[in-house]
Amino acid sequence: MKTKAMLILPPSKSAIQSTLGVTGPPLGLGYLASALENIGHEVRVIDSLAMGYDLADVKRAVQKFDPELVGITATTPAIYDAYGIARAVKEVNPDCRTVLGGPHATFVARETLKECPQLDVVVKGEGEQTIAELASGKKLGAIKGIAFRKKGKVRENEKRGFVKNLDEIPFPAYHLLPMKKYEMRGIKFAAMVTSRGCPFQCVFCSSSKLCGKIWRGRSPENVLEEIKLLKEKYGVREIEFLDDTFTLNKERTKALCALIRNEKVDISWSCSSRVDTINEGLARELKEAGCHSIYMGIESGSQRSLNFLKKGINLNQAKKAVTVLKKLKLNTVSTFIIGIPGETVKAIEKTIKFAKKLTPTLAQFTILTPYPGTEIYEFARRKNLLLTSDWSKYTTLDPVMKLPRFTARKLKGLLRKAYMNFYCRPTQILRIFKWGGFSLLKTLGKVKKYY
């Protein structure tokens, strides 16, 4: 059975795109597309952000291709845009099966189906095998990892296990993505994921529930093969590794760096780390292999707040990590969270001062946001702290959780103060202009991947 499938990233507001005029490739859809093509299905991918599509454009594309299955992905604040796509698809063809995946839908599958009657199926967790079974006509009741309607009621099937060997997953279907659109200042860029799963317990992140607590990494050889494909076939010169913690398995990281150096692959890249998984030796290897920027979640200047967040780090580790990276002239992008339950104005100001003292190349400040699937979301529900059920407000820039010491206006004022205090310093302004590079500016517009 051959199915025509269309995978869609809906038109929506993008922090990166609105700030810098660029957006990255939707890797999740790329992986689903390759899984479908691998078994003979006909696939199209619509990256509305990169292609500049609005809802009417997407609807015309659906009419032209006439798919039997449409897969949609969306983050929490963009979920209503996904619903709009499902409605448009059903207007074109009521018999087309509409499927929604992603972190938000995974954790509130029942609510999602109730909120959007035009959705037929929600895929929970890793979706490569699930989408393949949906496209191949397997009965819904026999497909693991989905929620769907049956006789007017929502039914949730048993969970699907995680893919153990990530090397077995085909590379994203880059040939179906608008690769020429992913460019800034004449530099073509791409993103890659080289591992899944997270063993840490941060209360604001759903990654360990979405992809499991057991870390699974692709082999260095498999990762290098994808890097070469991007560079040689698509002219990519800059890569952002989107792993939650690229440096978690130090030996694998070192082996990959050695391969990049030995193969003389001229590529520039950035990655994410934790302050307790980086040291001078590893950082040196990263730099020698082409890494120029490292994104680290420091989160707070208060140990009490770090403990509440279950971050599993201390302030001395943060100081040491940033010092090491600065010594090697690696750019550091550090993230900080305000609006943590129990915080006072003094505690938030302590975080601002700590950020200024560390002086990373860039700092990102956000308001603690309880996304579905996170421990802080369950905490907020139990304590009746949620201010709104409007998912579009869950942006990390808008307060959506009650805090006894802060009004929403006060908290947003402190967020502005954090940015002003950090960036409106002559030394910081000079540092940014001096660097003037690509990935760091791109990362400044990046919204955390916690939803």
Choices 1.10.10.10, 1.10.730.10, 3.40.50.280, 3.40.50.1820: CATH for 4-156: 3.40.50.280
Percent of the chain with pLDDT over 70: 93
The whole-angstrom separation of Cα 273 and Cα 411 is 28
* Mean pLDDT computed over 90-104: 97
Which 3-state string (H, E, C) describes 148-202? EEECCEEEECCCCCCCCCHHHCCCCCHHHCCHHHCEECCEEEEEECCEECCCCCC
- Euclidean distance between CA atoms 154 and 238, whole angstroms: 44
How far apart CA 92 and CA 88 sit, in angstroms, is: 6
Q: Is the pLDDT of residue 182 over 60?
A: yes
pLDDT surpassing 80 at residue 446: no
Phi, psi of 408 (to 5 degrees): -60, -40
- Distance of alpha carbon 34 from alpha carbon 13, whole angstroms: 27
* Whole-number pLDDT of residue 436: 53
Q: What is the pTM of this model?
A: 0.93
184, pLDDT greater than 90: no
Q: Collect all residues with Cβ–Cβ distance below 8 Å to 353 and sequence separation of at least 6.
A: 301
Give mean pLDDT, residues 134-145. 97
Res. 414: pLDDT tops 70? yes
Out of 13-27, 117-131, 269-283, least confident range: 13-27
Q: Tell me, what's the pLDDT at 433?
A: 62
Q: How many helices (H) and strands (E) does the chain have?
A: 19, 16
What gap in Å lies between CA 33 and CA 29, rounded to an integer? 6
pLDDT band at 445 (very low <50, low <70, confident <90, very high): very low
**Spatial contact of 332 and 296, defined as CB atoms under 8 Å apart:** yes
pLDDT at 19: 46
Tens-place pLDDT, residues 387-404: 999 999 999 999 999 999
Q: What percent of the chain has pLDDT over 90?
A: 89
pLDDT of residue 171: 98
Residue 185: per-residue pLDDT: 83
Please, which pLDDT band fits residue 426 given cuts at 50, 70 and 90?
confident
- Confidence bin at 187 (pLDDT 50/70/90): very high
CA distance 239 to 186: 14
Instruction: Render pLDDT for 40-81 as a digit per residue (tens, 0 to 9).
Output: 999 999 999 999 999 999 999 999 999 999 999 999 999 999
Q: Is the pLDDT of residue 247 over 70?
A: yes
DSSP state of 449: S
As beta bridge partners, residue 331 has 293
Please give the pLDDT value at position 21. Answer: 53
* pLDDT recorded at residue 431: 65
Angstrom distance (rounded) from CA 7 to CA 73: 8
Residue 198 burial (10 A CB sphere; 0-12, 13-18, 19+): buried
What fold does the segment set 182-444 form as a domain?
Answer: pyruvate-formate lyase- activating enzyme (3.80.30)
Q: Which range (12-26, 173-187, 268-282) has the least confidence?
A: 12-26
User: pLDDT of 8-25, one tens digit each?
Assistant: 999 987 554 444 456 889
Distances (CA, A) of 168 to 125, 138, 261: 18, 22, 25
Q: Report residue 421 as tokens.
A: 């205090």
pLDDT at 216: 97
> Where do we find the tokens 């770090």?
306
Overall average pLDDT of the 100-127 stretch: 97
Residue whose C-alpha is closest to residue 228's, from 273, 190, 272, 270: 190
Q: Is the pLDDT of residue 194 over 50?
A: yes
Across the range 374-395, mean pLDDT stands at 96
Q: What is the pLDDT of residue 428?
A: 72
Annotated domain spans of the chain: 4-156, 182-444
For the chain, the average pLDDT equals 93
